[in-house]
């Protein structure tokens, strides 16, 4: 007899649905038939250290920008595709209506069935093998830059679903779903970190004319970084540059501190410190060595393992019998590493002890311990295990149990404050970067690189991860698949059209309808997305809308940055944006009118002021006229501006533009008709 309540039935159904979603490859992008057009790849300049950008036109007015990097010599020394960004240009030369859309990192792939199943196994902190083949489907994009808000809603929805439904479905469902989501999230974050690193390297390395504008580069960077924040997708575009710069500074700050901390600790413990740099010279990791000759010299010496988190080398019998990798380095009288032939150079045989990531908050994070392969894994797993046991086994939650909340807060404060190496934010960022470093850097000896690579794979906690070798193969295959997808008429071009159709919803529907359509999208797990049919008229409006958004954003940035525009900005650019808005005043709203008024107040340039007033006149909204009235009323202004605003107001009244009754009254009383 079936005694399940309707609620339980729904729960079961949703759980089944979840399993299907977990096991199914990600939903394939639907196809729209399009005229096939063979795109031609156009290679941009290559930098000295091997970064190259390829520009591939896509049918329906878009381009795919792909960054290639040269791999280390033991990876064949060949170049591999690293990252692609899709720019929707609407098929014209106007940069102002371009829209950046998808970001792909080619090592980011859809996991295999086995990987997905393993990712859902609680307490399985291990890799389960590689994905062998990328398949022929287009690779999954890492991020849609133009749909950052959508990601926020998706995240909220899944969190709600987890807490309301899965968490109440018993240990198995709760633990499995949480483990899967965590692994999936970590896998994605790791590739976001890698995407950021690639972009940063490309920016600093390429000598060619930049393909991304500064604004675009920072926008991509900031949007990638903001994926970590709950409401990151909602951050106003004008803050993106500031946020990106702030985060970049913080990363460099952390890196510098860790570099110096590790150097000082190495010095104090009589070890050798070697920074490991990416091709652009930025040291993101460091290696610690011990000199074989010092093992006897300092035998039995005290060792302060705080921050280093490795065993005392001076009391370690394993090192005296070391059969692993060694390297002989030469140093001059000032302890500088020099080539062996340097006169007076002293040879020192070095044994590697550990590799640390320098971008980790607070302390350098141990990634490889050459004497104890499980040491980093234990440290990483400590936090995961603590969280998993508390949440899944003991059913404790920070928000549901005050004592747990307090205890955890104190524990976290102490470990964080003291820089204890356990219970720290996950190391996947540092691992991800190290993988990139191993792939790209020429500075590491091949044998050591291989050794480190193998150790890294053993340390990985995430069943969704592939090893470095597999990633290179997958990247190449996924790149080919993406290219193929871009060439197919029913491929990327069709996807772009569909995306434009979705983007046009805001042009065709009011706010309430849009909220309804958004809800439908979320509740259908993304299977239903409302799209407009792309007509030439709508397409033109879309271009205009994007261009207006570009000019509004520019003007908002301008007025926010300075009280006197012409001191800081090229006033021609400001005039151009005002002119564009004035020319398309029918398409803009009261917010834009307010923006024009702020420009008027912050400039002394006659032409810009005239244009600002012209905008206020042409924008048919109550706020625009209210702003004109304010200008007229401002006695500090020169008479000519007040007269001009009066003239515009008279015209507006005559043309029966939208004006509030109080403003009409004020106009008729003070200005007349």
Partner 1 sequence: MGNRQHPSGKLGKAITVAVILGLLASAPAMAQARRVVVIKVDGLPYRMVERFVHETDPRTGKSRLPWMKRLFYDQGTRLANFYVRGMSLSAPSWNLLDTGQHLQIKGNVEYDRYTLYSYDYLNFFPFFLNNALSRREDMPSAELLDELGIPLLIDAYGENERFQSYQLNQRGVGWLTLQKALTNRFTSRSPRELLDEWTMGLDARGLPLEQFEREIVGRLDDPAYRYLDYYTTEFDHATHHNRDRDTHLRALQNVDALIGRIWTAIERSPLADETALVVVSDHGTNTDERVYSQGYSLIELLRSAAGGGHHVLTKRRPLMDYSIKGAYPFVPLITTTSKESYYLKDESADYPTALLDFDGNERASIHLRDSDLNLLHILFQQLARKDLSPQVRQAANRAFFATVERRRAEWEKMLAEMREELGALRREIDRQSAMLAVLKSNGATRSESRRNRESVRLAARVSFWQTQERGYAEYIGALSRLLALRGEGFDPRRLKVEELIPRRSMGDGNTIHQLQNYVVGVAAGGLALAGDGSLDMEKSFRRVDYFSLLGRITVRNNVQKGIANRPVDFVAVRVPREALAGALNADELPDQDAIWLYGAGDRQALILARQAQSGELSLRYLPIAYLTGQADGAVRFQRIGWKESLPLKLWEDEKLRAPESDRARWLNEWHTELEWLRAAHETEYANAIIGLHEQFARHPTASLDAARPGLSQDERLLARFRARQRRLVEADLLILANNHWNFDVRGFNPGGNHGSFFRVSTHSTLMFVGGENTGIRRGAVIEEPYDSLSFVPTIFRLTGQLPNGEITPALWQDGFRQFPGRIIEELFDPAKQTPPPVAGSSADNR
Which part of the chain contacts partner 1 (CB under 8 A), choosing from 130-138, 184-192, 235-243, 310-318?
Answer: 235-243
Q: At its nearest, how many Å lie between partner 1 and the CB of residue 602? A: 9
**Strand, helix or coil at 263?**
helix
Nearer to partner 1, 159 or 249 (CB): 249
Using CB under 8 A as the binding rule, the residues of this chain from 204 to 223 that contact partner 1 are: 214-215
Count CA atoms within 13 Å of residue 411 on its CB side. Answer: 13
Among 422, 388, 458, 431, which Cα is nearest to 181's?
388
Q: Does 279 bind partner 1 (CB under 8 A)?
A: no
Length of the chain: 673
Q: Does 153 bind partner 1 (CB under 8 A)?
A: no
**Strand, helix or coil at 547?**
helix
Locus of tokens 């990791």: 285
Which part of the chain contacts partner 1 (CB under 8 A), choosing from 83-91, 459-467, 559-567, 620-628?
Answer: 559-567
Beta bridge partners of 65: 55, 85
Q: Contact with partner 1 (CB under 8 A): which of 42, 78, 260, 643?
A: 260
Q: Does 298 bind partner 1 (CB under 8 A)?
A: no
Site string for partner 1, 566-585 (x = CB under 8 A): -xxxx--x------------
Q: In terms of DSSP bridges, do strands 365-369 and 327-331 run parallel, antiparallel, or are they unpaired? A: unpaired
Q: 10 Å Cβ neighbour count for 627?
A: 26
Give every CB contact of residue 179 below 8 A, 6+ residues apart in sequence.
119, 120, 121, 122, 123, 124, 388
Q: Does 296 bind partner 1 (CB under 8 A)?
A: no
Interatomic CA distance for residues 127 and 115, integer angstroms: 8
Nearer to partner 1, 305 or 337 (CB): 337
Give every CB contact of residue 121 below 8 A, 6+ residues apart in sequence.
176, 179, 463
Nearer to partner 1, 459 or 565 (CB): 565
Q: Does 425 bind partner 1 (CB under 8 A)?
A: no
Q: In terms of DSSP bridges, do strands 327-331 and 99-105 run parallel, antiparallel, or are they unpaired? A: unpaired
628 near 600, Cβ under 8 Å? Answer: no
Q: Does 563 bind partner 1 (CB under 8 A)?
A: yes
Q: Does 28 bind partner 1 (CB under 8 A)?
A: no
Q: Does 339 bind partner 1 (CB under 8 A)?
A: no
Q: Does 328 bind partner 1 (CB under 8 A)?
A: no
Q: Does 17 bind partner 1 (CB under 8 A)?
A: no
Q: Does 234 bind partner 1 (CB under 8 A)?
A: yes
Using CB under 8 A as the binding rule, the residues of this chain from 343 to 402 that contact partner 1 are: 362-363
Nearer to partner 1, 372 or 557 (CB): 557
The DSSP secondary-structure symbol of 337 reads B
Q: At its nearest, how many Å lie between partner 1 and the CB of residue 256? A: 4
Query: Which runs of E-coded beta strand occur in 358-428?
Result: 365-369
Residues in binding contact with partner 1, number by CB under 8 A: 53
Among 87, 97, 419, which Cα is nearest to 258's?
419
519 near 551, Cβ under 8 Å? Answer: no
Residues lying near partner 1 in the complex (CB under 8 A) are found at 214-215, 226, 229-232, 234-236, 239, 242-243, 245-246, 248-249, 252-253, 256-257, 259-261, 263-264, 266-268, 270, 272-275, 334-337, 362-363, 414, 417-419, 561-564, 567-570, 573
């Amino acid at each position: 007899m079936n005694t399940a309540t309707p609620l339980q039935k729904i729960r079961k159904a949703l759980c089944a649905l979840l399993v299907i979603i977990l096991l199914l490859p990600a939903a394939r992008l639907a196809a729209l038939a399009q005229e096939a057009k063979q795109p031609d790849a156009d290679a941009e300049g290559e930098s000295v250290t091997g970064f190259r950008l390829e520009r591939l036109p896509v049918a329906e007015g878009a381009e795919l920008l792909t960054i290639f990097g040269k791999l280390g010599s033991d990876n064949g020394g060949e170049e591999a595709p690293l990252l692609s960004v899709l720019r929707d240009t609407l098929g014209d030369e106007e940069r102002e209506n371009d829209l950046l859309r998808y970001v792909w990192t080619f090592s980011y792939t859809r996991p295999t069935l086995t990987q997905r199943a393993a990712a859902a196994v609680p307490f399985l902190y291990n890799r389960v093998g590689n994905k062998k083949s990328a398949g022929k489907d287009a690779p999954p994009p890492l991020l849609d830059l133009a749909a950052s808000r959508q990601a926020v809603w998706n995240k909220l929805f899944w969190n709600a679903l987890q807490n309301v439904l899965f968490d109440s479905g018993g240990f198995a469902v709760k633990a499995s779903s949480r483990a899967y989501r965590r692994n999936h999230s970590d896998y994605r974050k790791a590739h976001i970190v890698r995407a950021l690193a690639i972009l940063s390297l490309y920016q600093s390395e390429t000598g060619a004319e930049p393909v991304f504008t500064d604004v675009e580069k920072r926008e991509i960077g900031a949007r990638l970084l903001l994926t970590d924040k709950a409401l990151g997708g909602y951050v106003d575009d004008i803050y993106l540059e500031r946020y990106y710069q702030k985060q970049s500074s913080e990363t460099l700050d952390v890196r510098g501190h860790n570099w110096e901390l590790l150097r000082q600790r190495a010095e104090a413990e009589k070890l050798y410190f070697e920074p490991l740099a990416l091709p652009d010279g930025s040291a993101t990791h460091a290696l610690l060595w011990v000199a074989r000759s010092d093992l006897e010299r300092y035998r039995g010496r005290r060792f302060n393992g705080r921050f280093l988190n490795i065993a005392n080398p001076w009391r370690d019998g394993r090192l005296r019998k070391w059969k692993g990798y060694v390297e002989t380095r030469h140093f001059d009288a000032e302890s500088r590493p020099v080539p062996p032939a340097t006169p007076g150079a002293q040879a020192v045989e070095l044994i590697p002890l550990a590799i640390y990531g320098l971008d980790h908050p607070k302390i350098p994070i141990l990634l490889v311990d050459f004497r104890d392969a499980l040491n980093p894994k234990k440290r990483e797993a400590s936090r995961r295990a603590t969280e998993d046991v508390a949440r899944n086994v003991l059913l404790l939650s920070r928000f549901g149990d005050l004592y747990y909340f307090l205890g955890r807060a104190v524990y976290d404060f102490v470990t964080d404050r003291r820089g204890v190496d356990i219970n720290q934010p996950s190391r996947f960022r540092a691992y991800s970067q190290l993988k990139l470093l191993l792939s790209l850097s020429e500075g590491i000896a091949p044998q050591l690189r291989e050794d480190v690579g193998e150790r890294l794979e053993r340390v990985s906690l995430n069943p969704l991860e592939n090893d470095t070798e597999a990633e290179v193969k997958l990247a190449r295959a996924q790149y080919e698949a993406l290219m193929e997808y871009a060439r197919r008429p029913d491929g990327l071009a069709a996807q772009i059209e569909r995306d434009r159709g979705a983007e046009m919803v805001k042009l065709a529907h009011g706010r309430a309808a849009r909220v309804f359509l958004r809800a439908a999208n979320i509740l259908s797990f993304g299977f239903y997305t409302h799209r407009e049919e792309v007509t030439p008229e709508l397409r033109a409006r879309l271009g205009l809308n994007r261009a207006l958004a570009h000019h509004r954003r520019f003007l908002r940035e301008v007025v926010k940055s300075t009280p006197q525009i012409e001191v800081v900005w090229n006033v021609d650019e400001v005039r151009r944006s005002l002119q564009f808005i004035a020319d398309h005043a029918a398409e803009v709203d009261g917010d834009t009118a307010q923006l024009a008024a702020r420009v008027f107040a912050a400039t002394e340039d006659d032409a810009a002021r005239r244009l600002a007033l012209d905008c206020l006149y042409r924008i048919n909204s109550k706020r625009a006229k209210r702003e004109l009235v304010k200008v007229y009323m401002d006695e500090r202004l020169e008479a000519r501006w007040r007269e001009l605003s009066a003239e515009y107001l008279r015209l507006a009244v005559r043309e029966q533009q939208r004006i509030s009754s109080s403003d009409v009254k004020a106009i008729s009383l003070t200005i007349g008709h």
